[in-house]
Amino acid sequence: MASSEMASSSNPEPERDAEETNLNPNPVAPPVAPVVCLMRFASDSAAGGFMGSIFGYGKGLVNKRGLRGSFADAGSSAKTFAILSGVHSLVSCFLKRLRGKDDVINAGVAGCCTGVALSFPGAPHALLQSCLTFGAFSFVMEGLNKQQPASAKSLSSGQEIAKSPKNVLPPFTLPLPPTLMEGFSSFCKSLAKPRSPIPR
C-alpha cells in the first residue's frame, strides 16, 4: 500500500504534461456541426432582416415617401441585409469547419459568395464584380480586425514609454493643411471670445 502511494505521489509529471499540451497559444477552432452552421445562418439572417427593415424604414421616412413607401423600402432593405448576413455567416461557418481555421481567407471567400448571392440574377460580369468587391472588402476588414488586438500597447510599464521616440506621430495622425488650420484656429478663437449680452 505504501508503494502504491509512493508511486502515485512520485509521478505527477504525466498529469502536468497533459495539461501543458492542452495550452496551445494558437488554438484551432473545433469542427462545427452542419446543424450549428444552419442555425447560425437562420439566426443571422433573421437579425440582418430585422436590422435591414429598421434601416429601410428610416431611409423611407428621411426620403419623405410616407408610411407605405417606407414599408416598401423596409422590405427591400430587410431582404438585402438578410442575404448579406446569412450567406456570409453560413459560408464562413462551413469554411471554418472544412479548413479547421478561422482566418482572412474564409472571410474573403464568404464575402465573394455573399456578393454573388446579392447580384445572382444578373450578367456574369456583374456577378464577378460583386464577388471581387465583397470578397476584397471582407478580406481587408477581417485582416484589420485580426490585427487590432496585436497593435494594442500596454501602458502598464513606464519603461516602455520612456524607450519610445518622442517625435513619432501616432498611427493615422496627419497634420492639417494650412488653409484648414487657419479656419480651425479662427473658429477656436471665436469660441473663446466673450459674448456680448443680447439687447432687448
**pLDDT tens column, 123-170:** 889 999 999 999 999 999 888 887 765 545 555 544 554 555 566 556
Q: How far is CA 176 from the centre of its chain?
A: 29
> Of all helices (H) and strands (E), which one includes residue 161?
helix 158-163
Q: For 10-102, where are the alpha helices, taking DSSP H only?
A: 13-22, 34-62, 66-99
Radius of gyration of the chain (CA): 28
Q: Where are the domains of the chain?
A: 32-100, 102-147
Residue 12 phi/psi, 5-degree rounding, is: -85, -5
Q: Would you say the C-alpha torsion 89, 90, 92, 93 has a positive or negative sign?
A: positive
Which pLDDT score is estimated for 65?
81
Q: What is the mean pLDDT of residues 166-186?
A: 65
Q: How high is the pLDDT of residue 155? A: 55
| pLDDT band at residue 115 using 50, 70 and 90 as cut-offs | very high
8-state DSSP, 166: T
For the stretch 46-58, pLDDT in tens is: 999 999 999 998 9
- Cα distance between residue 190 and residue 106, in whole Å: 52
Instruction: Please give the model's pTM, rounded to 2 decimal places.
Output: 0.56
Q: How far apart are the first and last CA of the chain?
A: 103
d(CA 60, CA 66): 7
Q: CA-to-CA distance for 28 and 105, rounded, in angstroms?
A: 15
Residue 173, pLDDT score: 60
Grid cell 500596454 is found at 154
Quote the CA–CA distance of 100 and 38 in Å, as a whole number. Answer: 18
Please state the rounded mean pLDDT for residues 1-18: 46
